[in-house]
Homo-oligomer: A and B are copies of this chain.
């Protein structure tokens, strides 16, 4: 099983993701230019390694000395970020070889994705020079790599994610960035994020191989358009999914999407059916969009493996639980998630606690009869958690009714109960909360829940889909060797 694992590749990647020094070539003193933003981003993000701006005109950027040429930098350079025009890249690669760097990430674009023979040839030559120079290339045409643990932010931004165990590898820099910003708000902890671009050297299979064995990574998400190393990718994926879940979003599944993909990364699309079959064969779970990817990573971060995923649902926290109960049942059933009726014992306990009038007690349970009664709410979670048929609990919150009727202080108290429920009752808890009338307060309340480790989903459909994805991984990969 270790057959595809290369120690050498791992060491190369370690030097890139945990770079102790980064040179930004094409750094600019003009604040409107991207070259200045890459430097500023590293500083603002609190990157602890050395930052070396490089520009022939010299001078100073953000208080740092600018070196005219990469080879002028006195110390060693682990990672180079290139922001120079495409016409200058080959010369830079010779300097990289001379400087014995670890890797270079090309924000520079305009190669294979243009479809022009001349620039495809340049891209091929770039790969050759990296091989002979003994370093690796990320991209070109990409946003490069992020490592929150090392303080390396996403692209030319100062945003650093919470360090955690989810990795995301993307053929789109935009999607990588968006996954990053969603993760900032929803507190998905990231081990590594990689925008891999055209993959003239390092390909999707290489990234996955490294991440599959990376002890800091417990799950991998991938956005793929049409990797050129797909045969090796599927082989590596088959190994990776024995160790940790791999969730794949395939872009360009349709004619319209594939047309855009061809212009974007120069990727050729195979038919969607071929992809789906190959991914299933490799034990990966296919997701259908960025939100679903984030939902699934967030859920796995919180609950880990789910061999069974029977849901106990609590709704109507203040009122309106009837419709929420119906909706929840439908949403779960559509994803094959069981909402098993409670046992008689549980129903009797709920009846004693909540009474009958207006309440649904069957699962979902509608607690609206005891509007705003914190003790009854806490007790309800306890009763539902004690059900042998319940593997995880979903609390359906209508923030409009909560904030509008019982107000922010009581809403916060209810959510403190939700936040403590897992530890108190031993079963994982997720929250469902739709946008509504009080958006800024909702954002506040949800971020507190996120800080407490409670995953929040904006609809029951999305929660149910994430649960189904995690369970599907576990069903396809029952004998997983590592978490």
Cα A356 to Cα B110 in complex, Å, equals: 8
Tell me if A260 and B174 are in contact (CB < 8 A).
no
A235 interface hit (Cβ, 8 Å): no
A325 close to B (CB within 8 Å): yes
Would you give the 0/1 interface string for A373-408, flagging 1 where the beta carbon is closer than 8 Å to chain B? 000000000000000000000000010110011000
Assess whether A177 is interfacial by the CB under 8 Å rule: yes
A225 close to B (CB within 8 Å)? yes
- A184: B residues at CB distance < 8 A: 436-437
Map CB proximity to B onto A154-180 as digits: 1 under 8 Å, 0 otherwise: 001101000000000011111101100
CB-CB nearest in chain B for A364? B260
The count of chain A contact residues (Cβ–Cβ below 8 Å) is: 86
A260 engages B436 (CB within 8 Å):
no
Complex-state Cα separation, A171 to B37, whole angstroms = 54
Known: A159-B437, A459-B289. A360 touches B264 (CB 8 A): yes
Q: Is the CB of A360 within 8 A of B323?
A: no
In the complex the two chains form, is B251's CB within 8 Å of A327's CB? yes
Q: How far is the CB of A119 from chain B (nearest CB, A)?
A: 9
Does the CB pair B174–A254 fall under 8 Å?
no
Q: A252-B326, A290-B327, A323-B170 are in contact. Are A259 and B398 (CB under 8 A)?
A: no
Give the residues in chain B near A225, CB-CB below 8 Å: 326
Q: In the complex the two chains form, is B178's CB within 8 Å of A290's CB?
A: no
Measured between beta carbons, the chain B residues less than 8 angstroms from A259 are 329, 341, 362
Q: Is A258 at the interface (CB under 8 A from chain B)?
A: yes
Contacts of A343 in B (CB 8 A): none
Q: How many angstroms between the C-alpha atoms of A327 and B253 in the bound complex?
A: 9
A405 to B251, CA, bound (A): 26
Are the CB atoms of A252 and B320 closer together than 8 Å? no
- The proximity string for A residues 316-342 relative to B, scoring 1 for CB distances below 8 Å and 0 otherwise, is 100111111111111111100011010
Contact B256 A333 (CB under 8 A): yes
Partner of A263, one of B173, B261, B325, B401: B325
Q: Which residues of B contact A185 (CB under 8 A)?
A: 435-437, 439
Nearest neighbor of A177 in chain B, beta-carbon distance: B320
Asked whether, in the complex, the Cβ of B178 is within 8 Å of the Cβ of A400, the reply is: yes
Residues of the B chain whose Cβ atoms lie less than 8 Å from the Cβ of A357: 86, 109-110, 114
A-B contact pairs, 18 of them (CB 8 A): A156-B405, A174-B319, A177-B320, A177-B401, A178-B436, A181-B437, A184-B436, A225-B326, A252-B329, A255-B329, A256-B330, A257-B326, A257-B327, A257-B330, A260-B364, A263-B322, A265-B322, A440-B440
Q: State the A residues within 8 Å of B (CB).
A: 37, 86, 109-110, 113-114, 141, 156-157, 159, 170-175, 177-178, 181-182, 184-185, 223, 225, 251-261, 263-265, 289-291, 316, 319-334, 338-339, 341, 356-362, 364, 366, 398, 400-401, 404-405, 434-440, 443, 458-459, 461
With A181-B438, A182-B434, A264-B322 known, 6 other A-B pairs at CB within 8 A are A113-B358, A182-B435, A184-B437, A257-B333, A258-B329, A264-B326
Q: Which 6 A-B pairs have the closest CB atoms?
A: A174-B320, A172-B323, A254-B333, A256-B329, A257-B330, A264-B322
